[in-house]
Chains A and B, each alone.
Chain A
Amino acid sequence: QQKVQQSPESLTVSEGAMASLNCTFSDGTSNNFRWYRQHSAKGLEVLVSIFSDGEKEEGRFTAHLNRANLHVSLHIREPQPSDSAVYLCAYSNNRIFFGDGTQLVVKP
């Protein structure tokens, strides 16, 4: 059973347009959620960590958590071509569970 579902699988946006990524999870007891970015088979870069319902902003990255709906989203403001990467959602409850990722392409 897939514990973390990400959507869309891939997303193409124009430079400067808002990019929105979604993640639904199966465990409503966790309070540790994180968005990572992975550039072309490299290590993971932490973007935003969020531990309570509501919004958390880190620079151009904003996460929204709604545990009642088992949903966390990531919004990227003014995306640039260098933001093109795979974005991974994850939550933790003694182990970390990752989604399959969303491939984001930002066109100039």
Chain B
Amino acid sequence: AQTIHQWPVAEIKAVGSPLSLGCTIKGKSSPNLYWYWQATGGTLQQLFYSITVGQVESVVQLNLSASRPKDDQFILSTEKLLLSHSGFYLCAWSLDWSSYEQYFGPGTRLTVL
């Protein structure tokens, strides 16, 4: 069975500080990977997707970056956090680029102060 793990569960950070959020998928080789963000009370938005190792495409510009250093790992990061980065970050995976059958992780709650 496939499992998806996100870390940390929650993070409180200062404006201007760096950020790194992680996501790993076990039990599935070469998954398509996605990052989503949801501002408090806002709409869930797709930020990035990756079809293969080393390749990441941006969907929405939020002064964030993503990387896929390993087949089963997806990292979301920034060198300088903004207040507007606060929210809930979800990682997801899918079997193929039809992208509909996506499976979501438990999420990371980020609070920027």
Residues of A within 8 A of B (CB): 2, 32, 34, 41-44, 49, 88, 90, 92, 94-96, 98-100
Measured CB to CB, the closest approach of chain A to B107, in angstroms, equals: 5
In the bound complex, do residue B59 and residue A95 qualify as a contact, i.e. CB atoms below 8 Å apart?
yes
| Interface status of B43 (Cβ within 8 A of chain A) | yes
A96-B99, A96-B100, A96-B102 known; A41 and B107 CB under 8 Å?
Answer: yes
Nearest residue, chain A, Cβ from B102: A96
Does B30 count as interface, using CB distance less than 8 angstroms? Answer: no
CB distance from B2 to the nearest CB of A (A): 14
* Residue B85 CB within 8 A of the other chain: no
CA–CA, A2 to B43, complex, Å? 10
> Size range of the interface on B?
10 to 19
Q: Flag if B99 contacts A95 (CB, 8 Å).
A: yes
Distance in angstroms from B56 CB to nearest chain A CB is 15
Cα of A49 to Cα of B44 in the assembled complex, Å: 18
Contact (Cβ within 8 A) B107 A43: yes
Q: Interface digits, B77-113 against A, CB 8 Å rule (1 contact, 0 not)?
A: 0000000000010100000011110101111010000
Contact yes or no, A42 B99, CB < 8 A: no
Bound-state CA distance A98–B100 (Å) is 12
A43 in contact with B90 (CB, 8 Å): yes
State in angstroms the CA–CA spacing of A60 and B45 once bound together.
28
Chain B proximity of A75: nearest CB distance (Å):
22
Q: For the complex, is B42 an interface residue (Cβ under 8 Å from A)?
A: yes
Q: How far, in whole Å, are A95 and B47 apart by their CA atoms in the complex?
A: 11
Contact A43 B100 (CB under 8 A): no
- Residues from chain A with a CB closer than 8 A to the CB of B97 are 94
- Listed by A's residue number, 14 A-B pairs whose Cβ atoms lie within 8 Å are A2-B43, A32-B100, A41-B88, A43-B105, A49-B100, A90-B44, A92-B100, A94-B97, A95-B99, A96-B99, A98-B43, A98-B44, A98-B45, A100-B42
What is the CB-to-nearest-CB distance from A91 to chain B, in angstroms, rounded to a whole number? 9
Whether B46 sits at the interface, judged by CB under 8 Å, is: yes
